[in-house]
């Protein structure tokens, strides 16, 4: 979720910025269609590293995508390696899924429900907003694709949009900026801020406060597939009238490498354990060299 930005202010008054390849609304619709298609058909699994920071500190994890569910293994807290006891606890937690098919099914179901919510939000974007062309900037290693042209669009709520459910309701108060890679027709960045308080469930279930912000950046990770590289969330509000909601986190992913598509959950667990052992041996080697 510093990046290279090319500001429109750098264009001289006598210059006319290049026009987008198609009307903004159509460009967004095409990019969203590509995002939804890729989610169903891309079919490349990866192992990667994630570092997530919250007000409570940071957590570094290894993830491995498998045909069954995502495998996640914590390897550091606040940038400090886990103790041997913590490593055993993490491995035992993962082993419990391999021994308990019902728990693994629940995990897979939860991941599918999360993916479905993302799909619904993504599908709503072309209709939920009005878009305006705002120039271009170059892609980078973590935003779009290095060397590609990214079209920058400003967006604001479409006053005629009626959210079909509370999942999409948050979009009614959002405004911000979108970057689209015009070679791949993929969304490279979406940066949105709540311009007003947004209630969900008619205000009975809760609301999100004005000023809430989210940033999602994705890129070509080197093998033709795209994945999220940064996600930043900052929201406050209330749930069920009384429970305070406070979400603040920034997650950055790196070190992507392909893994077999037919990898089982158990095989993914063993792969992460092996990689964790290699990391520990490398750390020992570095210490010995010093």
Contact 193, 212 (CB under 8 A): yes
What value, to the nearest 5°, has the Cα angle with vertex 204 and ends 203 and 209? 40
Condensed to tens digits (0 to 9), the pLDDT of residues 206-259 reads: 778 899 999 999 999 988 899 999 999 998 988 776 678 888 999 999 999 999
Dihedral angle, C-alpha 180, 146, 39, 173, nearest 10 ° = -30
The reported pLDDT for the residue numbered 120 is 92
The pTM of the full predicted model, rounded to 2 decimals, is 0.84
Q: Spell out the alpha helix ranges (H) of 48-202.
A: 84-99, 101-128, 166-169
242-245 LR contacts (CB < 8 Å, sep 24+): 243/206, 245/206, 245/208
Task: Report the mean per-residue pLDDT for the chain.
Answer: 86
pLDDT at 61 over 50: yes
């Amino acid at each position: 979720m510093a990046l290279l930005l090319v500001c429109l202010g750098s264009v001289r008054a006598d210059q006319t910025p290049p026009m987008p390849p198609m009307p903004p609304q159509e460009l967004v619709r095409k990019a969203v269609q590509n995002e939804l298609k890729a989610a169903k058909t891309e079919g490349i699994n990866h192992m990667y590293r994630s570092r997530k920071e919250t007000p409570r500190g940071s957590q570094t994890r290894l993830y491995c995508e498998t045909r069954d569910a995502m495998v996640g293994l914590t390897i550091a807290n606040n940038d400090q390696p886990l103790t041997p006891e913590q490593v055993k606890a993490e491995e035992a937690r993962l082993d419990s899924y391999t021994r308990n098919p019902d728990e693994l099914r629940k995990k897979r179901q939860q991941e599918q429900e999360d993916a479905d919510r993302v799909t619904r939000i993504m599908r709503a974007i072309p209709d939920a907003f009005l878009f305006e062309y705002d120039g271009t900037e170059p892609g980078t290693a973590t935003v779009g694709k290095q060397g590609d042209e990214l079209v920058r669009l400003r967006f604001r709520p479409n006053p005629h949009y009626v959210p079909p459910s509370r999942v999409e309701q948050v979009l009614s108060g959002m405004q911000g900026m979108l970057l689209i890679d015009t070679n791949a027709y993929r969304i490279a960045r979406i940066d949105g801020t709540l311009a007003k308080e947004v209630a969900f469930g008619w205000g009975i279930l809760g609301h999100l406060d004005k000023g809430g912000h989210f940033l999602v950046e994705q890129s070509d990770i080197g093998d033709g597939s795209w994945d999220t590289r940064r996600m930043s969330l900052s929201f406050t509000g209330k749930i069920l009238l009384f429970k305070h909601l406070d979400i603040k986190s920034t997650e950055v992913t790196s070190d992507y490498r392909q893994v077999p598509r037919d990898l089982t959950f158990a095989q993914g667990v063993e792969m992460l354990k092996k990689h964790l052992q290699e990391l520990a041996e490398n750390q020992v080697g570095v210490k010995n060299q010093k």
